[in-house]
Amino acid sequence: MSLAKLISVARGDATADLLLKNAKIINTFVGIIEESNVAIYGDRIAGIGNYQKAKKTIDLNGNYLAPGLINGHAHVESSMLHPAQYAQAVVPRGTSAVITDLHEITNVAGFNGIKFVMNWAQKLPLDMFFMAPSCVPATHMETSGAEITTQDIKKVLKWQNVIGLGEMMNFPGVIYSDKQVLGKITAAKGRVVDGHAPGVTNKRLNAYLAAGIHSDHETTTTEEGREKLRRGMHLMIREGSSAKNLDALLPLVNDKTYKRCFFVVDDSSCSDLLREGDIDAVVRKAIQSGLEPVRAIQLATINTAEYFRLYDRGGIAPGYIANLITITDLPKLEIDMAFYKGSLVAKGGKYLEPPPKPSTKELTDTVRIKPFSIEALKLTARGESFPVIEIIPGQIITKKRIERVKTKDGVVVPDLEEDILKLVVVERHKASGNIGLGLVKGFGLKRGALASSIAHDSHNIVVVGTNDQDILTAVKEIERLQGGLVVCSDGKILASLPLPIAGLLSPEPLEAVVNKFEKVEKLADGLGNVPPVPFAILSFLALPVIPELKLTDMGLVDVIEFKLI
């Protein structure tokens, strides 16, 4: 693109490539709606005003024109979609940029995982900006497939479109000045450093922020969010498939605070992306909850862009990237057209060109399990009581309970009447033979087992079940598929979603993945009184940086005390 030609178009002396006429422009800079035309040259907005000359003109007939939406924190791997299919899901929904921390696929495949997504991102009508994964593995209390050191962080930060350090999940390591943790933060000095501080308050919060961490997406209560805003944090208001915090945090958004807040999804399933949307679904829900529509769009565009120092997007202005969306109904946020760098790429909820086809051999054969027998699943009783992980509906945090447990011949067994089930984590990266055993309350299974190779963040195999035989059968099916989601009952596999790419992603088309995912969810629901999004809930039961009690391949982790118990 010629800068001189761009300026000439802006002056009105040269012909624009594209003219969008009769638009109601959502002005995210000052929070107003103005009626005008927008002239575009190459991938940039040349000007706003009474432009008439263009190679192509689209009359918007009074529809709204907004900047493309920016998802400020997402793990694209949680969609279970290949990057090309992920773009197909979110671009027609108005997402033009996503800031992603690839610690999921990096925990499995290291640098190869990062490069896999980066290479595909270059082929898509979607800007992906990357945060260097700070916690691979997230803790020393689990086994992952890779390790990212301080020297690795320095290397990744030099790569194209890597704009900062990803969420620092090891908050105890920050608070108590772990040398390696502080080394990674220091390596990112001068860049944006994202936080992850669930329940961290008072002096512990001061200690966390003193390290130079700028944001948090793990806030779940109004009071916690208020304190973090007052202490200078940017509040990422999260509303994803499993963690839903919008209702608690939206009351904090007002004239004094809104510039410090923006929307994120963190983790969204393929089904939610297809059926409900991406960051647009969060904006829509915020509007329905009473947030003024222009302000809601500000929290998904300019606020996000400015936090991440992406100063050429998030608004409609001369010199800005021409990533734009048209909206036919503002309160309902009905998106019609999506433009990427000045080109129309989606209309009416559909991609205009088919996405590139993925290879079937990228990052496969990553599930390696040391053979074991059903005897390895026995949980020996150590008295009448045992620590139990209790699920909290709509959250990824859990409660630590000490419960009287059911035993038989000195072995703890599931208690279906009390909804206390067996939870198992099987190491799958190095065939170490590690198997973590525990109990979980609130899953509602009355028969069978559910298994997944998506188990944040190290992504070992996690299984919940009513009996050891179904648990073993489900693990073996995950191994055969080389990753996926499995529903098992009475020794039979009822349904599965294969995820052969790093044990996390499917190479299949969006609709095919969604159909299989919805089938496993439906059949899982038929095994008892199962909570919504059971596989998402299951995936977070192995994440030892989210309070209070979690299970890894090494055993039960008390997250508050940050130790294996």
Q: Which residues contact 147 (CB under 8 A, 6 or more apart)?
A: 110, 136, 137
pLDDT band of residue 215 (cuts 50, 70, 90) is very high
Q: What is the CATH number of domain 73-294?
A: 3.20.20.140
The predicted structure's pLDDT at residue 361 = 80
Quick: pLDDT tens for 530-553: 999 899 999 999 999 889 999 999
Section 512-534 average pLDDT: 96
Decide: 536 and 546 in contact? Cβ < 8 Å.
no
Q: SS3 for 274?
A: helix
pLDDT band of residue 449 (cuts 50, 70, 90) is very high
Quick: pLDDT tens for 104-139: 999 999 999 999 999 999 999 999 999 999 999 988
Residue 111 has a CB neighbour count (10 Å cut-off) of: 14
Decide: 137 and 105 in contact? Cβ < 8 Å.
no
**pLDDT of 86 strictly over 90:** yes
Q: Can you read off the two tokens belonging to residue 120?
A: 């595909």
Decide: 419 and 464 in contact? Cβ < 8 Å.
no
- Give, for 246, the enclosing helix (H) or strand (E): helix 246-249
What is the C-alpha to C-alpha distance for residues 37 and 15, in angstroms, rounded to an integer? 14
What is the C-alpha to C-alpha distance for residues 483 and 497, in angstroms, rounded to an integer? 9
What letters, b where the CB count within 10 A reaches 16 and e where it falls short, cover 160-194? eebebbbbbbbbbbbbeeeeebeebbebbeebbbb
Which amino acid would we find at residue 347?
K
Find where tokens 């944006």 sit: 192
Find where tokens 């509303």 sit: 239
Question: Which ranges in the chain are annotated with CATH 3.20.20.140?
Answer: 73-294
The predicted structure's pLDDT at residue 256 = 97
Section 215-243 average pLDDT: 95
Q: Can you read off the two tokens belonging to residue 89?
A: 């899901």
Quick: pLDDT tens for 368-390: 999 999 999 999 988 889 999 99
What is the C-alpha to C-alpha distance for residues 185 and 488, in angstroms, rounded to an integer? 43
The predicted structure's pLDDT at residue 354 = 84
What single DSSP character describes residue 254?
Answer: S
pLDDT band of residue 145 (cuts 50, 70, 90) is very high
Using the Cα atoms of residue 224, residue 227, residue 233 and residue 236 in order, give the sign of their dihedral.
positive
Decide: 234 and 481 in contact? Cβ < 8 Å.
no
The predicted structure's pLDDT at residue 69 = 98
**pLDDT of 10 strictly over 90:** yes
Nearest to 287 by CA among 96, 450, 64: 64
Decide: 5 and 41 in contact? Cβ < 8 Å.
yes
**pLDDT of 308 strictly over 80:** yes
pLDDT band of residue 457 (cuts 50, 70, 90) is confident
Q: In the sheet where 234-238 sits, what is the strand order? A: 215-216, 234-238, 261-264
pLDDT band of residue 396 (cuts 50, 70, 90) is confident
Compute CA distances 514 → 10, 94, 265, 360, whole Å: 45, 20, 18, 19
Quick: pLDDT tens for 282-294: 999 999 999 999 9
Decide: 60 and 23 in contact? Cβ < 8 Å.
yes
Section 48-67 average pLDDT: 97
Section 406-417 average pLDDT: 94
Q: What is the mean pLDDT of the chain?
A: 96
**pLDDT of 394 strictly over 90:** no
Quick: pLDDT tens for 252-280: 999 999 999 999 999 999 999 999 999 99
Quick: pLDDT tens for 17-48: 999 999 999 999 999 999 999 999 999 999 99
Q: What are phi and psi of 550, to 5 degrees?
A: -140, 170
What is the C-alpha to C-alpha distance for residues 74 and 76, in angstroms, rounded to an integer? 6
**pLDDT of 1 strictly over 80:** no
**pLDDT of 359 strictly over 80:** no
Section 175-193 average pLDDT: 96
Q: What are phi and psi of 292, to 5 degrees?
A: -60, 135
Q: SS3 for 450?
A: strand
Compute CA distances 155 → 40, 123, 127, 184, whole Å: 36, 23, 21, 11
Q: Which residues contact 563 (CB under 8 A, 6 or more apart)?
A: 141, 557
Find where tokens 């107003």 sit: 32
Exposed, middle or buried by CB within 10 Å (0-12, 13-18, 19+), for 223?
exposed
